[in-house]
Amino acid sequence: MRLPAGISETIDLIIPFPLFARRLHKWLAVGVGIQAAIWMLSGLYMTAVHIDIIHGDYFVRSPAPRAVAAGRLADPVAVTRAVPGGETLKLVWIMDRPVYVVAANPVQSRSMRGQDARSRHRRDPISSSSPTTGTSATKLSRAPS
């Protein structure tokens, strides 16, 4: 298909297609080349630097411990005894409230119960996706009942 004489001359005056294709190819090659160079340099960095530094675990800060009046909390031994087979007790903060998390034999099973540390109301289920902050754990030995 041929273009009319006036349109063909107008297109040729703006930029000839072979010249446009060469310029486009050149700039695409520069862009891909820069991207490939960055990819290669980041790969060299990943192999040269120790993996613990790359992970950035040292940037994660432990939350500041919160002060709580022990007299306002429920008795931790009583809370642990209230859970059948309860062996481990943790005081965690969930939505700005202190909560005891009691685990029954945490090595063999993953059953956990939560109980508000002030009002002693149960808070179930306790899962790893619960928003907890300021965790501190206490291992209690069960006294004979």
Residue pLDDT, tens place only, 40-61? 999 999 999 998 888 888 788 7
Q: Is residue 30 part of a domain?
A: yes
Q: Is residue 145 part of a domain?
A: no
Structurally, the chain folds into a number of domains equal to: 2
The overall pTM is greater than 0.85 = no
For tokens 């965690």, the residue is: 92
The answer to whether 74 and 115 are in contact (CB under 8 A) is yes
Listed in sequence order, the residues at least 6 apart from 11 whose beta carbon sits closer than 8 Å to its beta carbon are 3
The strand pairing partners of 43, in sequence order, are none
Tell me: do 84 and 127 sit in the same domain.
yes
As a whole number of angstroms, the distance between CA 93 and CA 66 comes to 9
Tell me: do 45 and 91 sit in the same domain.
no
Tell me: do 41 and 76 sit in the same domain.
no
pLDDT digits (tens, 9 = 90+) for 80-136: 888 777 788 888 888 888 888 888 765 555 555 666 666 656 655 444 444 444 444
Tell me: do 129 and 83 sit in the same domain.
yes
Q: Which domain holds residue 35?
A: 5-57
Task: Write the DSSP symbol of residue 111.
Answer: -
As a whole number of angstroms, the distance between CA 99 and CA 133 comes to 11
Tell me: do 79 and 135 sit in the same domain.
yes
